[in-house]
Amino acid sequence: MANTFKIGGVHPEPNKLSAGSRIVNAPLPKQAVFPLSQHIGAPAVPCVSKGDSVLVGTRIADAGGFMSAPIHSSVSGKVAKIDTVLDASGFRKPAIFIDVEGDSWEPGIDRTDTLSLLCSLTQQEVLDCIREAGIVGMGGACFPTHVKLSPPKDCRIDVLIVNAVECEPYLTADHRLMLEHPDEIIVGVRILLKVLGIDRAVIGIEENKPDAIQLLRSKTSMVSGIEIMPLRMKYPQGGEKQLIEAVTGRQVPPPPALPANVGCVVQNVGTVFAVYEAVQKRKPLIERIVTVTGKGVKNPCNLRVRLGTPVSQLIEMAGGMPEDTGKLISGGPMMGRPLLDDSVPVVKGTSGILMIPESEAARLEERNCIRCAKCVQACPMGLEPYLLATASAAQDWECAEENWIMSCIECGCCQSTCPSRRPLLDWVRLAKNRVGGIIRARNAKK
């Protein structure tokens, strides 16, 4: 039987409505908007001003520190303003607005589809290239990739794990990428092995994507060091710690321990493709694949979207928003964020746009906890969600911290299993946010 992780997890309906839809290019927007915080870490710092002309691939913001990433324009045109924009967090954040004029690219970017197999760059040159291209984790975490590829010196890495699980219901962007760009992904894996100085990679794919498993297996049958590992379907297998356990049997200790402490580096398959494009094609991260879907959606699809494009434009491509839509989500139904507005721009971490019908979106009345412990059984991190939610409601941040709130991966398994319909994830997110702030303030004082 195929591997999976041991503790907790749930089996939501997959609803992969767009799995059979080939990737198509979304049209250019009239105006592209680039929030300066599209990654974990310090926001990027604008290096253009109002009125400046830019090309596709022009750097428009520098990294704000080591834990940060630069941003490049995905369009050609003129900088209209630097202002704030409503982003997926629901808050207004600083952003660069560019009015689109034509589609002219920076010279030096290879726009052909020709597969580029050989990489003659040194380890450091590849790492620099990845950092300069502004690549961040494209599974949604948005952790700067060059940081992940620079593990602490005392950690001996022996395996690269490629996260091609895509366990979130509805999302199919990674699945299509594997079917349509397998060769580029394999070159990307080889480049990452070179950077890490190791010779073993495992691409973990859930068993509901047999075509991708078969294709990548046939492509790697003559390549040494790359294994394709089918995994039993279980959410949240795409969580870093769950995937490491499923693939290697190793358990990452609680924070501040990292995957590197157990010899692993995990990269999303979309990130691997972006690495290929950056290193072999000199193309910075200016576009990504986005699934646009939902049960009432006319044309569930997978789109290649220039960053900065408004979500409303993608919804049009999918046939418009169904009348009975009750909730618009950026990402999947389990870990995604509800959007207040469809003008929000696509950013590096936008994996999907999901329209949920009113009948499924409406929250049913919450009832008292009946101590059934279903949330505890479902939690893949071994936490006690009912306790964390109670601590959060009572603003007892000390209790939340003592009970490992910072280990929560916000997967939503607890909430999805609660027979009393308690909004456990909301409470847990709130407490995690507050405790995270308290810990940061405490550390700053030291």
Q: Which two tokens stand for residue 367?
A: 């009832």
Would you call 123 helix, strand, or coil by DSSP?
Answer: helix
**Closer residue to ligand SF4 (CB): 77 or 385:** 385
Rounded to the nearest whole angstrom, what is the least distance from the CB of residue 430 to ligand SF4 in the complex? Answer: 12
Report DSSP letters for 210-221, one per residue.
HHHHHHHHHHHT
**Closer residue to ligand SF4 (CB): 26 or 375:** 375
**Closer residue to ligand SF4 (CB): 136 or 418:** 418
**Closer residue to ligand SF4 (CB): 238 or 284:** 238
Structural contact between residues 275 and 52, judged by C-beta atoms closer than 8 angstroms: no
Other beta carbons less than 10 A from residue 342's beta carbon: 17
Structural contact between residues 67 and 147, judged by C-beta atoms closer than 8 angstroms: yes
Rounded to the nearest whole angstrom, what is the least distance from the CB of residue 410 to ligand SF4 in the complex? Answer: 5
Rounded to the nearest whole angstrom, what is the least distance from the CB of residue 393 to ligand SF4 in the complex? Answer: 11
Q: Which two tokens stand for residue 267?
A: 């990269």
Structural contact between residues 168 and 235, judged by C-beta atoms closer than 8 angstroms: yes
Closest CA to 414 of 363, 369, 375, 366: 375
Rounded to the nearest whole angstrom, what is the least distance from the CB of residue 392 to ligand SF4 in the complex? Answer: 11
Q: Is 42 exposed, middle or buried (0-12, 13-18, 19+ CB in 10 A)?
A: middle
Rounded to the nearest whole angstrom, what is the least distance from the CB of residue 144 to ligand SF4 in the complex? Answer: 24
Rounded to the nearest whole angstrom, what is the least distance from the CB of residue 344 to ligand SF4 in the complex? Answer: 23
Which residues are paired to 356 by β-bridges?
A: 327
**Closer residue to ligand SF4 (CB): 61 or 413:** 413
Provide the binding-site residues for ligand SF4, judged by CB under 6 A: 369-375, 378-379, 381, 383, 385-386, 388, 408-414, 417-420, 422, 424-425, 428
d(CA 307, CA 21) in angstroms, rounded, equals 21
**Closer residue to ligand SF4 (CB): 230 or 236:** 236
